[in-house]
Amino acid sequence: MILADSSTRVLVQGITGRQGRFHARLMQEYGTAVVAGVTPGKGGESVHGIPVYDTVREAVREHDATASVVFVPAPLAMDACLEALAHLELVVVITEGIPVKDTMLLRARAKRLGSRLIGPNTPGIISPGESKLGIMPASVFRRGSAGVVSRSGTLAYEIAAAMSSSGIGQSTLVGVGGDAVVGTSMAEVLQMFESDPETEAVVLVGEIGGEAEERAAEFVKEMSKPVVAYIAGITAPPEKRMGHAGAIISRGRGTAESKIRALERAGARVAEFPQQIPEILREVA
Amino acid sequence: MELCEYRGKGILREHGIPVPEGRVVESPEGAKIAAAELGGEVVVKALVPAGGRGKAGGVRFAASPEEAAEAAEALLGMHIKGYRVRRLLVERRLEILRELYACVAVDREAGMPLVMLSREGGVEVEEVPEHLIARAHVEPLTGFHPYMARELCAEAGLRGGELRQVAEVLHRMYGVFQSRDALLVEVNPLAITPGGVVAADAKLSIDDDAWFRQGMEQREEQRYVELEGSIGCIVNGAGLAMATMDTLKRLGGEPANFLDIGGGAGAEAMKRAVARVTSNPSVRVLLVNILGGITRCDEIAEGIVEAVQEVRVPVVVRLMGTNEEEGRQILRAAGIEVERDMLAAARLAVELSKSI
């Protein structure tokens, strides 16, 4: 597994908000070590028995947290993420709707500090049976040896559910986020899976827009592990934003065809529909 | 949000970038008055948020106020790239010696702003050979400094006063990009005239997610895409929505539209979504595909139960994920069948769309 395991000590930023509170409990129920929460001005309170602090620095000092999951609303998210990056090696940003300018700054800051930024607009990370840093429904995952990397949240759950129900478990699932600019690319996650001893095959879930899949395909060429991919939006009309800020075919770039071609040339097998992935994984494993 | 040329130029002017003097008009009479005020030759441009306007016949020159009125007469009501021309921009005609291309854009994969400059302006940038475009990524923690703009100008082959003036414009364009939360600031052509450098056109795209600091309305949570078939789709999450659309087509169905209710939508949002999707008269069956993570199936189910009473078409519901069991019970109690498998739900929706 990569990025998160049972030793990951998690801090939840925005833990007193509606989503933070709800998902802190679900993460805890899953077995994640949720050691503290942060909401400025609410230090001293507690949520589901989790102590709340005013600052990340205090929470880290008291509980040796190693990662943060951020639920802070978009207008305040950049500041919260900068605070997290200053003290933690892994920052997972669930928040949707963060301006691109803010994400570019966060990404640069993370690289400068050597911290890992996942997202924004991500479902998070789950290493089934070990740890969940995010909002995914735990029931669709089971432990196994296939790594999954995805731009989309719910589509990744769909594919994980199809895998699990046909007996193929996951080592780790990483949502890189649906925005045009994200902290960690699919190519970087592929590299982590390639060097992870527990991962035997990788599923890449892409979608139209941008060139992240084409870049990932460059690394697929170098990989020893089999890669199975699915690209959403093959029937999407051009110049229409398909929900995700990043999902738009613009000026002929970012088409599903271009991504599928690049991945197939690099040696990946590309599924025609999500539920076909388990079958192809069986063939290549 | 794409800004029209006039608003874009207004912003450039506020940031000290020279733009031609101009007026927005909505009638031939208005064009005539504007041309008389501006004096001399003018250019009359269709105000539509689309590129390639010149090629589509949306730009005309006029030597007199009467000719400007004629040009306006011809342009108003035209359709350019799907947009009906309702407003025109009348500008003093520039004496253009040469045309450059300049832009600041987001390089998604590099995660950084990208500044580009070319001596080959006036045409679509895709048509300019790669080696004639000078590029520089901007490290967000450092910013774009005047020397970087000068380096770009030198790389593009500019010298002397031209280098200094264009560098100044580039630096100011980056200022616009930063302060306005732009995703694109494009000036094409950036005109070299006897009087100096002028932004002859302007294309600005503003990041909708920056609404909270740019004085914009917050973008709607629900994202709706209109298509041409008969199956209305409500899905949570863009990737799953696209996969649903692809799957329906693969099974021989045609989606009429899809609405991504986004993450964490509740019962009220679901009700609104049903109303919006089924208001399209070509919808013959409604498919709701929810895989709950941050979205809770019980809240979605409550919304469906309330909304479905008003709906005139059959409804196929697929629920899985967070609070799934609770959601299933709510729907069952209301006599609504629930699928668990996405493919099965899609098949049923396609069948129904054909049998009704």
Q: Is the pLDDT of residue A253 over 70?
A: no
Least confident of A220-229, B89-98, B211-220: B211-220
Show residues of chain A in contact with B322, CB under 8 Å. 26, 137
Asked if the C-beta of A218 comes within 8 angstroms of chain B's C-beta atoms, the answer is no
At residue A38, the pLDDT reads: 97
Range of the domain at A108: 9-118
Question: Among this protein's residues, is B174 annotated catalytic?
Answer: no
At residue A239, the pLDDT reads: 58
Chosen from A154, A248, A257, A276 to mutate, greatest number of chain B CBs within 10 A: A154
Length of chain B (residues): 356
Is position A228 within any domain? yes
- The answer to whether the Cβ–Cβ distance between A237 and B321 falls below 8 Å is no
Q: Which of residues 220-279 of A touch B (CB under 8 A)?
A: 230, 232-237, 240-247, 251, 272-275
Size of interface A-B (CB pairs under 8 A): 173
Contact, B253 vs B353, CB < 8 A? yes
First to last CA, chain A: 17
pLDDT, one tens digit per residue, over A182-222 is: 999 999 999 999 999 999 999 999 998 888 999 999 999 99
At residue B216, the pLDDT reads: 87
pLDDT, one tens digit per residue, over B274-295 is: 999 999 899 999 999 999 888 8
Is position B209 within any domain? yes
CA distance A113 to chain B (A): 12
At residue B55, the pLDDT reads: 80
Asked if the C-beta of A173 comes within 8 angstroms of chain B's C-beta atoms, the answer is no
How many domains, chain B? 3
ipTM of this complex prediction, to 2 decimal places = 0.90
Are A105 and A182 in the same domain? no
Of the residues B91, B186, B299, B339, only one is catalytic, namely: B186
CA distance B322 to chain A (A): 5
Show residues of chain B in contact with A161, CB under 8 Å. 291, 320
Which CATH number covers residue A112?
Answer: 3.40.50.720
Q: Which chain A residue's Cα is nearest to B50?
A: A239
- The answer to whether the Cβ–Cβ distance between B343 and A275 falls below 8 Å is yes
| Percent of all residues in chain A with a pLDDT value above 90, rounded to a whole number | 88
Residue type, A21: R
Distances (CA, A) of B32 to A277, B47, B200: 65, 17, 21
Q: What stretches of chain A adopt beta strand conformation (E)?
A: 9-13, 33-38, 46-47, 50-53, 67-70, 90-93, 116-118, 124-127, 131-134, 143-150, 170-175, 201-207, 227-232, 269-270
Across the interface, of B106, B227, B239, the residue whose CB is closest to A207 is: B239
Asked if the C-beta of A117 comes within 8 angstroms of chain B's C-beta atoms, the answer is no
pLDDT band at A251 (very low <50, low <70, confident <90, very high): low
- The answer to whether the Cβ–Cβ distance between B293 and A108 falls below 8 Å is no
Q: Is the pLDDT of residue A243 over 60?
A: no
Which CATH number covers residue B248?
Answer: 3.40.50.261
> Which of residues A57, A88, A118 is at a domain's end?
A118
pLDDT, one tens digit per residue, over A258-272 is: 999 999 999 999 999
pLDDT, one tens digit per residue, over B319-331 is: 998 889 999 999 9
Half-sphere exposure of B165 (CA within 13 A, CB side): 17
At residue B187, the pLDDT reads: 95
Of A116, A122, A203, whose CA–CA distance to A161 is shortest? A203
Of A182, A194, A78, A80, whose CA–CA distance to A122 is shortest? A182
Are A278 and A195 in the same domain? yes
pLDDT band at A247 (very low <50, low <70, confident <90, very high): low
Show residues of chain B in contact with A112, CB under 8 Å. 141
Are B208 and B243 in the same domain? no
Radius of gyration of chain B, Cα coordinates, nearest whole angstrom: 26
Residue type, B3: L
Cα–Cα dist A50/A59, whole Å: 11
pLDDT, one tens digit per residue, over A135-170 is: 999 999 999 999 999 999 999 999 999 999 999 999
Show residues of chain A in contact with B243, CB under 8 Å. 155, 158, 230, 232, 273-274
Show residues of chain B in contact with A242, CB under 8 Å. 225, 238, 241-242
| Percent of all residues in chain A with a pLDDT value above 70, rounded to a whole number | 94
Range of the domain at B155: 98-214
> Which of residues A118, A146, A165 is at a domain's end?
A118
At residue A242, the pLDDT reads: 57
At residue A123, the pLDDT reads: 95
Which CATH number covers residue A182?
Answer: 3.40.50.261
Place of tokens 């620095």: A57
Of the residues B6, B91, B99, B101, only one is catalytic, namely: B101
Is position B4 within any domain? no
How many domains, chain A? 2
> Which of residues A57, A86, A118 is at a domain's end?
A118
At residue B309, the pLDDT reads: 83
- The answer to whether the Cβ–Cβ distance between A19 and B236 falls below 8 Å is no
> Which of residues B181, B197, B214 is at a domain's end?
B214
At residue B131, the pLDDT reads: 86
